[in-house]
Copies of this chain bind each other. A is one copy, B any other.
């Protein structure tokens, strides 16, 4: 009990410890609560101590992305390219859904981190192994965009209100935005019944992903090339 008095000796800081504390803070308190000052407080350290392990806040965010992208499971061996790509992307999606801030931070990165490059390189390899040309693979990777990490920018979350408040709001909107209201209620002009509100994000994600993968396959089979599209559809 006497062998250590006064201010407790802290476990020495390391880049890994800084990053995992940052991930934990963002997970618990939200990305807006992640500041260098608050992070240093969590680590029981003076703010400037962080700057020995991380050049600045941008590099901290880069490191956090690397941690999450590193959590993405490896590809299943021995399945065709479409199944492999699909499984990998859905695995990435699960990793990002565990850390709600991660997709938002990933979007703001300007330089890819090593884990991101590893991930992209292996995904390109899946397409190449599946018989895609370098040319087609290039465009296909662009077409995937952020979807290759398992997310898309969800614009405008539907505001959560009490059901009958929401019904009243929609009734008021229907004069000016008839099509939006029809879709929100999943109802046609013909049938008056309301099917339901809210969207199944996972369904929407897989719907668009499969649409793209099928489109990619069709171009591959057709021998598509950007310089000369031999379209016979």
Contact = CB atoms under 8 A, between A and B. Distances in A.
A153 B142 contact: no
Contact of A183 (B122, B134, B155): B134
Kindly state the interface size class of chain A when it binds its partner: 35 or more
A53 to B, nearest CB: 24
B212 A121 contact: no
Interface stretch (A78-86, A88-96, A110-118): A110-118
A121 B208 contact: no
A179 B143 CA distance: 17
How many copies the complex holds: the figure is 2
Interface string A115-129: 011101110110010
Given A124-B183, A134-B183, A134-B187, A143 B109 contact: no
Contacts of A211: 143, 212, 215-216, 219
B208 A156 contact: no
B212 A177 contact: no
Contacts of A106: 155
Contacts of A138: 183, 186, 199
Interface of A: 106-107, 109-112, 116-118, 120-122, 124-125, 128, 133-135, 137-139, 141-143, 145-146, 152-157, 159, 173, 176-180, 182-183, 186-188, 199, 203-204, 207-208, 211-212, 214-216, 219, 226
14 contacts: A107-B155, A121-B178, A124-B180, A124-B183, A128-B179, A134-B182, A134-B186, A134-B188, A139-B207, A142-B207, A143-B207, A146-B155, A208-B212, A215-B215
